[in-house]
Structure 1
């Protein structure tokens, strides 16, 4: 009987779905993994294949003002999730910083936080718009593997948390991520105003450092339930630290290439005219900048 079950993927799928958070099992996008996976797959296909082909013989769209408004919206939304969500978690005494169990309660306060988590998932999907702007403006070289993988995996990771255990220790990464994004999108909004803002954007490099610190903190915090038992599922621990480790390595690898000390003055001057951000895309302080994530300078692609 056991060997028969092992050969049946449907059995494992049904078993996995039975472990889902009963409070969110019937919510849009959370009933099964197929809707979110379809959205992510469509996003990847569009930005890597369909979009560039569609725009091949078209002129880039002039959407500078749209980009500015978009960045302002992202700052506002990030601030809202950080302060409002934080008031129910880590900015209050309600959550333990060392280890917070997942509460499957259905009282109004708990469900408010769970509902907020669902809207946070929508925010991560909304951030796919970053890459769509690149397509519309024919900035295809900005769409690096790091950029696309980061967008896709964060959305998928938030889905896993919402599907199997909304809240608890899982709430920490969204908490610090919103703080980073609040500052980050403020930078990009300033940069999008034009070249005259460049002298005020000297702190670009430190956004990359801030992002890496975010992953270090997320990794350390994710490990804590292994030492401070609060009945937090270990499966979530390994997902959290795996995600944090992956992106710490990717961003650190980018940082080394972007800011290595032996870059000649001539090469650095060339890089300044082709400022790539921490997602491997151009930081367009000089040419219709649209910001996304971590910043830095890397060699111009030949």
Structure 2
């Protein structure tokens, strides 16, 4: 658990935050001075973010003096532009400076707006703050974590399990799910989806590698969504469904698992079924809030009416009253009270 320092942004910096989020600045350098977050320097956009990166960041960084850098990327999110937060804390900085900057970062993110910050980079050397250093950080972040010896053994065991005969005795093998690692391209595609570059992703499982690949990434109209579903292979689909419900505009991530009947092999059906839950957990960890999970046989089911019914089921406001059946005829009057002991004497 991190402990915050109570250091807050001064009035000038708070105003610059608003200006920056309106797209009027490319770079905002923030330092801690006099127990306050204050602006040390700003820079306007010159070209695209990649060509501006080294030219604008290099002059702002002092070799032994820590600071924060808020750098505007060109990618768009629903709120506006996405931002990269660089925490420049050099190795030569004092222990107190390192502690103060590490403890104040959460406050900076909150006051700027955490939703705008889509990426973070912690740098301790100047090489890490360059464009090449940033790209290396993204590659390292996207790479799957190395497996332990135990995980390697489990992976080999799974390879033998998928070839065994399916029966009531082997059913327990798939209940926990199989976590297939994501390729670098898949991770990058999901991150681009979150940033707003795409609204549709299609994923396939390489049955030999047991890895999840991105098969297609695009901006897809709802009317063209059914055509994206293959008729001969299983697939996972992730679609950002933009719609209006009761007068409110909404954007909802819908996860679709398509399985075209028994035209697929037993192994393919089992792999897609077993990998679905772990894959959804990985998507959630990358910031994809799936509102609805669907399973379909073919793409013709993916109509606007179907998605709306699944996301917003119609409520039955007036249920018919239950008609109590009449009792048998000539039964006589009901006894309302029990006779007392005096009546029985």
Of structures 1 and 2, the larger Rg is shown by 2
Which range, TM-score by smaller chain? under 0.3
Question: When you count helix as a share of all residues, which structure comes out higher?
Answer: 1
**Larger RCO (CA under 8 A, 6+ residues apart):** 1
TM-score of the pair, normalised by structure 2: 0.22
Question: When you count strand as a share of all residues, which structure comes out higher?
Answer: 2
